Amino acid sequence: MEPSFQVQVPVLPARLRPEHASEMTTQFLFGERVECIEKQEEWWLVQRKIECYPAWVRCTGLTAVSNLEVEGVFQQVLVQQTQGNFGLVWTPLGAKIKAEKQAIPDLNEWAAMWNGVPYLWGGKTLMGIDCSGLSQLYWESRGILLPRDASQQALVGLEVSWLFDSQPGDLVFFDNAEGKIVHVGILLSSNTVLHAAGMVRTDLIDQQGIYMADEGRYSHSLRLIRRPVPTAV
């Protein structure tokens, strides 16, 4: 059986290529389990099994763990102190920690926690987050595991035909002029959406798309609505 590895630093940047100058495509968080696909000296190509979204990381951010060891519980607060391999560390929401399960914030509390956090391509923490990282973390906090990218997330769950049929928490997806899914948001109601564009913000939405009232324009064109559902593991 191939060994598993666990992230031992608060946030582990993951890159498109095995070099520091390469773009960051995602982040792995403290306590998350990954499998190694390939090694190039200190650079390892790894992925979370639930994502199948490989990226290159420095192996110094990982430690080997037994496959029999249970992963920690999902951290539900933006940041807290946690006992790590090197003593106390500050861990972000989404980290897998050895603790009792924490209370799950409701959707409005979630929005209040994240509103104003800056946008960061590949980010998944309060220091910066992207649109699909936000939607992935929200649903993982509720026990539903989604793929990493918006275009991948748009392929899972139940399709909802119209906004008036939607429920808070449904995901809304937006495309570009070529019809490619490029953005995702979380519905707070049938006419408001939480999303990361420049920063995490709450905007109006209708069947045309996202309307940014402060800028007086539509910023994203609505393509489809999905409702994540549990899947058999």
Q: What is the mean pLDDT of each run of 10 residues along the chain (233 residues)?
A: 85 97 97 95 93 94 88 94 82 94 95 97 97 98 95 96 96 96 97 97 97 95 95 54
pLDDT for the residue 1: 53
CATH assignment of 107-227, among 3.20.20.220, 3.30.420.40, 3.10.20.880, 3.90.1720.10: 3.90.1720.10
Q: How many CA atoms lie within 13 A of 106 on its CB side?
A: 3
Contact 123, 130 (CB under 8 A): yes
Q: Which of 56, 64, 71, 89 is nearest to 2 (CA)?
A: 64
pTM over the 0.75 mark: yes
Q: Is 20 a catalytic residue?
A: no
Give the active site residue among 20, 52, 59, 195: 195
The residue ranges of every structural domain in the chain are 1-102, 107-227
Q: Is 36 a catalytic residue?
A: no
pLDDT at residue 233, as a whole number: 42
- Exactly one of 36, 52, 59, 183 is catalytic; name it: 183
Residues composing the chain? 233
Q: What distance in Å separates the CA atoms of residue 142 and residue 5, rounded to the nearest whole number?
A: 24
Which residue among the candidates 20, 36, 131, 220 is catalytic per the annotation? 131
- The 3-class secondary structure across 72-125, one letter per residue, is CEECCCCEEEEEECCEEEEEECCCEECCCCCCCCCHHHHHHHHCCCEECCCCEE
Active site (annotated) includes residue 220: no
CATH fold, domain 1-102, is: SH3 type barrels. (2.30.30)
